[in-house]
């Protein structure tokens, strides 16, 4: 393994500040003279606001300003970034999403009023004496009930159905026919449970306004400061980009939940302008539970048609996807383009039809959460395959293998619009067999039986589409943004390098891994490269970090910019050595003339660029700084195979994860240690979804699991150590690094492995149980066992 550059497990340089308490998260920022905002939020899921009386609150000493929806009528609502067109060619229903509620509240947590005061305590005390005449309305929580009508979340759109999407619509009849005439059809109805992303850092927003130059600054916990500047500036507050700076400093985890533009960001920015004081908001964890966009929440029926040999013939799915009360930024794309296109999985199913009904309910908005649509696709597919194997008396690994797309069949066009560039699914399955020690399984099962426990083994595959995405393609599909990424590579006069990237690191380690790439390309030490990100005022316009895109898209932009740097540096070197640029070679930080012993160092060339005394000024500008925007040609397709072993206690229904093994094909890997860490974290979140986590609403729209006492986060003693491997590598063919991205794989591949394992344990133990909905809590498992 190399010690420097691509492939090295370089320790993370950012860790030093995090480990010594010197990280700078948004809440660590205090702007001189700042005031504090407290949001008065709805405690009912649905209600009509008859009146709001703020007079008593205004009289509280220390209150600086009070705002209600009426103060925001002139600004736009929060925009949705993706317009979906339904099966009938109609565009989706897109009701307004006001910054502060106007006329109605639509979920517990919807902000009714905001108090800005000298201290948070004063703001909170004042909010308590705001008198809201709120007429509670019946809440609609269940998606089926919502589709049937009755109570409307948004009266003006006259339905709770956002869209009824069919994909691929032209396949609909052929799929119906294939299922009707199939040798065998396996049907499974399942729920993909609603989750709360729960990044450990709660969201924070600080608005600041400098009247001297009419400049607004927003400090915010965001994965994509440029996207926030674009959405908030252009659509909500009408502040042009050059008057608006968005800073996302160190961010304590995102997992998707910090992609979106939230009301509090717009509020703090506008309130600072109106009040001419900085305004700070820090979410309490309780507030996070009822305001951060939730994830998943699909109810699905999937049918898999097979021939007598177990070959897949067709797939038909029918899904209801919860949007919550409003359309969050990318909510509409998750159950459609990020889900339907993945239904082919790793298999050669010729016919697929996916139907998705997106539904409004009186709950917190739902949007992308680690994996975003791909976990939902993988879960149903890998569960129904297991059920089909059981029904047909086939081995679950064999049935998968015989349906795999074979390694010599790439590039492979699926019936759901994707073209996979590379893969070798048998190789990852072989590797899994080895690292999970599947040969030793029977002995371990026997040991479990001797303890009176049921042991089960769950195996599944996954594929995901990452590196989102070709801009022209997503534009055709309804995205209201491009999805390129950018990098400016600034070489300093003494040869050190500053890279300004539009990506954002909130745990992924870009400050360490991006320099590894440049170090490799130029042949200098990683320490000479510094990564700058998170501030729209000093980075080029970029789309941020999500969808496992940073290295595949942002890394590619950085490579392109560095290639331009190298090309120019070669010309400078050629001049210095009186040779032709075509004859210059760069190796180990030194330029040489091929076939001679002439050479000049990287540092000398950089210095010449900035002190151009001996320099071809007629042909070449001084300086060494280049920018590149990279728009990917295709998605990348990481894929893998996962194995989970569980023990189930039949007396209590408690599930213990005994082992978890993951083989992933991420293409080329920049930093194996960082990649391992990404997979570990994803697996933990997937196990959390499978066994513990559930954002559970009662019929009145109250979130019953709204604190860490009720929402069961996976803790250290709930999880085993993991066995992970990414040595099976089929490099991506269309980006310059051959990378595929690794951020979401663990969360996509792991839930079906856990559930497959539990169902396997129960069946081997003699219990005829086909499915249990996540989370597989002891009571659900016990109930399944005991009928």
Partner 1 sequence: MATVTMTVNGKSVSGEVEGRTLLSDFVRNNLNLTGTHIGCDTSQCGACVVHVDGKAVKSCTIFALEVEGSTVKTIEGMANPDGSLGVVQQAFQDNHGLQCGFCTPGMVMSAAALLDENPNPTETEIREYLEGNICRCTGYHNIVKSIQAAAVAA
Site string for ligand FES, 141-180 (x = CB under 6 A): ----------------------------------------
Site map (CB under 8 A) of partner 1, residues 215-254, x = contact: -----------------------------------xxxx-
Contact 338, 469 (CB under 8 A): no
**Shortest Cβ distance from residue 424 to ligand FES (Å)?**
32
Nearer to partner 1, 286 or 770 (CB): 286
Query: Choosing among partner 1, ligand FES, none, which partner's interface includes residue 56 (Cβ < 5 to 8 Å by kind)?
Result: none
Check residue 19 for interaction with partner 1 (CB under 8 A).
yes
Interhelix angle 672-691/745-764, nearest 10 degrees:
50
SS3 110: coil
CB of 685 to ligand FES, least distance (A): 11
Instruction: For residue 741, give the nearest of 635, 602, 595, 659 by alpha carbon.
Output: 635
Give the residue among 79, 367, 69, 39 at the shortest CA–CA distance from 236.
79
Smallest gap from Cβ 504 to ligand FES, in A, equals 15
Least gap, CB of 201 to ligand FES (angstroms): 8
Judged by CB under 8 A, the residue of 1, 73, 200, 211 near partner 1 is: 200
Is position 40 an interface residue for partner 1 (rule: CB under 8 A)? no
336 binds, among partner 1, ligand FES, none (CB under 5 to 8 A by kind): none
Please identify which residue in 4, 7, 23, 771 interacts with partner 1, judged by CB under 8 A.
23
Q: Does 12 bind partner 1 (CB under 8 A)?
A: yes
With CB under 5 to 8 Å by kind, the binding choice for 719 among partner 1, ligand FES, none is partner 1
By C-beta, is 12 or 194 nearer to partner 1?
A: 12
Q: Shortest approach of partner 1 to residue 201 CB, angstroms?
A: 4
Question: Per residue in 499-509, is it b (16+ CB within 10 Å) or e — as a string?
Answer: bbbbbbbbbbb
Please classify residue 271 by burial: count the beta carbons closer than 10 Å to its beta carbon, then call 0-12 exposed, 13-18 middle and 19+ buried.
buried
The structure tokens listed for 316 are: 């038909």
Q: Is 1 in the site for partner 1 (CB under 8 A)?
A: no
22 vs 755: CA distance, rounded Å: 41
CB under 5 to 8 A by kind: which of ligand FES, partner 1, none does 73 bind? none
Q: What's the min distance (Å) between Cβ of 259 and ligand FES? A: 17
Distances (CA, A) of 598 to 575, 577, 604, 609: 12, 7, 14, 19
The 10 Å Cβ neighbour count of residue 433 is 17
Residue nearest to ligand FES (CB): 200
- Residue length of the chain: 787
As measured in angstroms, the least distance from the Cβ of 689 to partner 1 is 13
- Contacts to partner 1 from residues 275-294, by CB under 8 A: 284-286
* Interface region with partner 1, contact rule CB under 8 A, candidates 377-385, 444-452, 650-658, 671-679: 671-679
> Torsions phi, psi of 128, nearest 5?
-65, -25
- The C-alpha R_g of the chain, in whole angstroms, comes to 27
Q: Which is nearer to partner 1, 255 or 404 (CB)?
A: 255
Q: How far is the CB of 402 from ligand FES (least distance, A)?
A: 41
Report d(CA 192, CA 375) in Å as an integer: 9
Peptide bond before 535: cis, by omega within 30 degrees of 0? no
- Ramachandran sector of residue 478 (left: φ over 0; alpha: ψ -120 to 50; beta: rest): left
Q: Does 21 bind partner 1 (CB under 8 A)?
A: yes
CB of 607 to partner 1, least distance (A): 32
- Decide whether 507 or 752 has the Cβ nearer to ligand FES: 507
The correct pick among 178, 684, 695, 748 for binding partner 1 (CB under 8 A) is: 684
Q: Do residues 138 and 151 make contact, with C-beta atoms less than 8 angstroms apart?
A: yes
Task: By CB under 8 A, name the one of 76, 98, 109, 202 that touches partner 1.
Answer: 202
Pairwise CA distance, residues 28 & 17, whole Å: 13
Nearer to partner 1, 20 or 212 (CB): 20
- Three-state SS string over 578-624 comes to CCCHHHEEEECCEEEECCCCCEEEHHHHHHHHHCCCCCCCCCCCCCC
SS3 state at 522: helix
> What residues have CB less than 8 Å from 639, skipping those under 6 apart?
346, 423, 425, 428, 461, 462, 463, 464, 664, 665
Distance between CA atoms of 556 and 733, rounded to whole angstroms? 12
**Cα gap 536→557, rounded to integer Å:** 17
Q: Residue 296: which residues within 8 A CB-CB, separation 6 or more?
A: 192, 193, 194, 195, 366, 369, 375, 376, 689
Give the total of residues touching partner 1 (CB under 8 A): 55
Instruction: Report the partner that residue 709 touches, choosing among partner 1, ligand FES, none (CB closer than 5 to 8 A by kind).
Output: partner 1
Q: Reduced to 3 states, what is the DSSP secondary structure of residue 78?
A: coil
Residues 116-135 contacting partner 1, CB under 8 A: none
User: Residue for token digits 């496992």?
Assistant: 548
Establish if 198 lies at the interface with partner 1 (CB under 8 A).
Answer: yes
Q: How far, in Å, CA of 327 to CA of 111, rounded?
A: 16
Query: Please, which of residues 216-275 interact with ligand FES by CB under 6 A?
Result: 253
- Supply the minimum distance, in Å, between the C-beta of residue 190 and partner 1: 25
296 binds, among partner 1, ligand FES, none (CB under 5 to 8 A by kind): none
Rule CB under 6 A: say whether 507 interacts with ligand FES: yes
Task: Taking the CA atoms of 93, 99, 103 and 104 in sequence, report the sign of the dihedral they define.
Answer: positive
Distance CA 619, CA 622 (A): 10
Nearer to ligand FES, 62 or 253 (CB): 253
Dist CA 581 CA 567 (whole Å)? 8
- Pick between residue 458 and residue 507 the one whose CB is nearest to ligand FES: 507
Q: Judging by DSSP bridges, how do beta strands 625-630 and 639-648 pair with one another?
A: unpaired
- Among all chains, which residue has been given the structure tokens 């970090």? 545
Which neighbouring-strand residues pair with 625? 490
Smallest separation (angstroms) from partner 1 to the CB of 672: 10
The alpha carbon of residue 699 and the mean position of all alpha carbons in its chain are separated, in whole angstroms, by 29
State residue 748 phi and psi, 5-degree precision.
Answer: -85, -45
**What x/- string results for residues 665 through 694 when contact with ligand FES is judged by CB under 6 A?**
------------------------------
Minimum CB separation from ligand FES for residue 506, in Å?
8
For ligand FES, the closer of residues 286 and 733 by Cβ is: 286
Whole-angstrom distance, CA of residue 703 vs CA of residue 707: 9
Nearer to partner 1, 121 or 148 (CB): 121
User: Least distance (Å) from partner 1 to the CB of residue 643?
Assistant: 16
Site for ligand FES in 187-216 (CB under 6 A): 200
Check residue 25 for interaction with partner 1 (CB under 8 A): yes
* Beta carbon of residue 685, minimum distance to partner 1 (angstroms, whole number): 7
Name beta bridge partners: 246: 218
Cβ 106 to ligand FES, closest distance in Å? 30
Binding status of residue 682 toward partner 1 by CB under 8 A: yes
How many CA atoms within 13 Å lie on the side-chain side of 325? Answer: 28
Instruction: Report the site for ligand FES in 124-143 (rule: CB under 6 A).
Output: none
Residue matched to tokens 């010690």? 3
Looking at residues 502 to 521 of the shown chain, list those that interact with partner 1 (rule: CB under 8 A): 506-509
Print the binding letters for residues 456-495 with ligand FES: x by CB under 6 A, - otherwise.
----------------------------------------
Chain positions contacting partner 1, by CB under 8 A: 11-12, 14-25, 27-28, 198-202, 250-253, 255, 284-286, 506-509, 673-674, 676-677, 680-685, 707-709, 713-717, 719, 721-722, 746
Chain positions contacting ligand FES, by CB under 6 A: 200, 253, 507
């Amino acid at each position: 393994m190399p010690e420097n550059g691509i492939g090295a497990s370089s320790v993370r340089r950012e860790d030093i500040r995090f480990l010594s308490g010197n990280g700078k998260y948004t809440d660590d920022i205090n702007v001189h003279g700042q005031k504090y905002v407290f949001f008065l939020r709805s405690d009912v899921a649905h209600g009509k606001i008859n009146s709001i009386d703020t007079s008593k609150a205004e009289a509280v000493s220390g209150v600086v300003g009070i705002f209600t929806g009426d103060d925001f009528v002139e600004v736009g609502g929060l925009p949705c970034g993706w317009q979906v067109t339904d099966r009938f060619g109609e565009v989706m229903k897109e009701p307004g999403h006001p910054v502060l509620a106007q006329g109605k509240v639509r979920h517990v947590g919807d902000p009714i009023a905001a108090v800005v005061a000298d201290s948070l305590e004063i703001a909170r005390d004042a909010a308590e004496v705001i008198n809201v005449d709120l007429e509670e309305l019946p809440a609609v929580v269940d998606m089926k009930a919502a589709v049937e009508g009755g109570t409307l979340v948004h009266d003006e759109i006259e339905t709770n159905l956002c869209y009824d999407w069919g994909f691929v619509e032209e396949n609909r009849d052929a799929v119906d026919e294939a299922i009707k005439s199939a040798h065998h059809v396996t049907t499974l109805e399942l729920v993909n449970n609603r989750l709360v992303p729960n990044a450990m850092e709660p969201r924070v927003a600080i608005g600041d306004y400098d009247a001297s130059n009419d400049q607004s600054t927003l400090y915010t916990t965001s994965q994509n400061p440029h996207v926030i500047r674009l959405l908030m500036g252009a659509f909500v507050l009408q502040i042009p980009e050059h008057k608006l700076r968005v800073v996302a400093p160190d961010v304590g985890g995102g997992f998707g939940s910090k992609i979106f533009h939230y009301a509090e960001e717009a509020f703090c920015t506008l309130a600072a302008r109106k009040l001419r004081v900085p305004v700070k908001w820090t979410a309490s964890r309780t507030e996070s539970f009822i305001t951060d966009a939730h994830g998943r929440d699909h109810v699905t029926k999937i049918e898999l048609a097979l021939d007598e040999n177990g070959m897949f013939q067709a797939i038909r799915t029918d899904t209801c996807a919860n949007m919550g009360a409003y359309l969050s930024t990318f909510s509409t794309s998750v159950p459609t383009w990020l889900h339907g296109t993945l239904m082919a999985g790793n298999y050669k199913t010729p016919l697929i039809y996916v139907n998705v009904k997106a539904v409004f309910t009186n709950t917190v908005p739902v949007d992308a959460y680690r994996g975003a649509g791909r976990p939902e696709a993988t879960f149903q597919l890998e569960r129904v395959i297991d059920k089909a194997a059981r029904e047909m008396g086939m081995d679950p690994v064999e049935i998968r293998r015989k349906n795999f797309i074979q390694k010599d069949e790439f590039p492979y066009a699926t019936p759901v619009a994707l073209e996979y560039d590379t893969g070798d699914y048998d190789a990852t399955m072989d590797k899994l067999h080895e690292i999970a020690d599947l040969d030793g399984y029977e002995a371990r099962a026997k040991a479990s039986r001797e303890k009176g426990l049921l042991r089960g083994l769950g195996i599944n595959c996954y594929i995901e589409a990452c590196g989102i995405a070709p801009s022209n393609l997503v534009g055709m599909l309804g995205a209201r943004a491009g999805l390129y990424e950018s990098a400016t590579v600034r070489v300093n006069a003494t040869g050190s390098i500053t890279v300004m990237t539009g990506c954002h690191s909130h745990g992924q380690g870009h400050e360490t891994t991006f320099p590894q790439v440049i170090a490799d390309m130029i042949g200098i030490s990683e320490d000479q490269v510094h990564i700058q990100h998170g501030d729209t005022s000093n980075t080029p316009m970029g789309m941020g970090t999500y969808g496992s895109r940073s290295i595949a898209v942002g890394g590619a932009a950085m490579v392109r910019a560095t290639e331009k740097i190298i090309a120019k540096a070669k010309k400078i070197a050629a001049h210095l050595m009186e040779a032709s640029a075509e004859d210059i070679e760069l190796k180990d930080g030194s330029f040489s003339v091929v076939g001679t012993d002439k050479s000049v160092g990287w540092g000398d060339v950089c210095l010449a660029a900035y002190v151009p005394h001996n320099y071809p000024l007629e042909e070449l500008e001084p300086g060494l700084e280049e920018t590149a925007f990279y728009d990917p040609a295709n998605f990348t397709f990481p894929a893998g195979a996962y194995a989970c072993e569980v023990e189930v206690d039949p007396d209590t229904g408690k599930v213990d994860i005994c082992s978890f093994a993951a083989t992933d094909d991420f293409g080329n890997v920049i930093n194996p240690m960082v990649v391992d860490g990404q997979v570990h974290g994803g697996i933990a979140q997937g196990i959390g979804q499978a066994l513990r986590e559930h954002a559970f609403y009662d019929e009145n729209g109250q979130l019953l699991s709204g604190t860490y006492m009720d929402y069961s986060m996976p803790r250290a003693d709930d999880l085993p150590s993991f066995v992970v491997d990414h040595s099976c590598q089929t490099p991506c063919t269309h980006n310059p690094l051959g990378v595929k991205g690794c951020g979401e794989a663990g969360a996509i591949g792991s839930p079906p492995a856990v559930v497959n394992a539990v169902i396997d344990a129960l069946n081997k133990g003699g219990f005829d149980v086909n499915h249990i909905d996540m989370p597989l809590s002891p009571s659900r498992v016990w109930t399944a066992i005991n009928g």
